Structure 1
Amino acid sequence: MSTRTFRVTVRGFFDDLTAEQHAELLAAAPEHDVLRAAFTAEGNLTYELAARNSFAFRFLDSGEAEEDILEATARAELAAETWLTDRGYGFKRLRSTAEDLSQAALSKRQRQAAARTRT
């Protein structure tokens, strides 16, 4: 059985931030800019408080079977909740999306490269 790679995104909104928490997040904002977004095993947080109170965590996980994506999603949600709770940040309306990369469509460039290797 081959290993499947999953990309899980957990989105939500900061809720009831204190002035200190808001200032803390603004100070750390350059580290969490969307241009630095990446899917990582430990999770990558992005937000832009100047525009809105939303955030996104991006996680990279793996499993052996298609149904393992459900456990990967649950782990990602728990990790996001833990990160926020440990820092005392309120949050609301968490929602997750997950993608099994083995099921993802290939781009035109990827299809061309695959065709070249077959000939």
Structure 2
Amino acid sequence: MSEQHTYRVIVRGTFENLSEESRTRLLAEADDHGLAAMQFTEDGSLAYDRTLKHFSYRLVVLSDAADGEEMAGAIAEDRVERALGALGHGFGGLKSKVTDMDTMKINYKR
């Protein structure tokens, strides 16, 4: 079995073809999805503003180190697609930025 690494992934995308129901629900919940509420979690943390144009999701993905960052990004994008699809929100243009927390160098101040 391969070594597992923890990845922090930011998935960005755009809302597309939102139904009136989706727009109403997103606007009603907009205050709960600002940048201040963002956290890296397995389920993901959604952030957007009232323009309902762009969004970002922050996720934690545990994946085999041998599969690399590309696989972690694909897993994260799949989770975002399923989450937004389950809510009935239209989206597109997903792009991921992946950070491997197990290889990240931390410079401590002395």
The normalised TM-score by structure 1 is 0.78
Give the partner amino acid of 1:76.
A
Aligned residues: 109
What residue in structure 2 maps to residue 73 of structure 1? 73
- For the aligned residues, what is the CA RMSD? 2.0
Greater fraction of residues in strand: 2
Q: Deviations over 1:35-90 (max 9, x none)?
A: 1111001111111123x510111111223425343332221111100111112211
CA distance in 2, matches of 1:5, 1:101: 6
- The Cα of 1:6 is off from its aligned counterpart by 0.6
Q: Which has the larger radius of gyration?
A: 1
The unaligned stretches of length 5 or more in structure 1 are none
Give the partner amino acid of 1:98.
V
The unaligned stretches of length 5 or more in structure 2 are none
The normalised TM-score by structure 2 is 0.84
* Pairing 1:7-26 to 2, within 5 Å after superposition: 7-26=8-27
CA distance in 1, matches of 2:48, 2:79: 17
* Pairing 1:1-119 to 2, within 5 Å after superposition: 3-50=4-51, 52-65=52-65, 67-107=67-107, 111-112=108-109
Q: Deviations over 1:11-38 (max 9, x none)?
A: 1000111222111101011221111111
**Percent identity of equivalent pairs:** 31
CA distance in 1, matches of 2:62, 2:94: 22
Greater fraction of residues in helix: 1
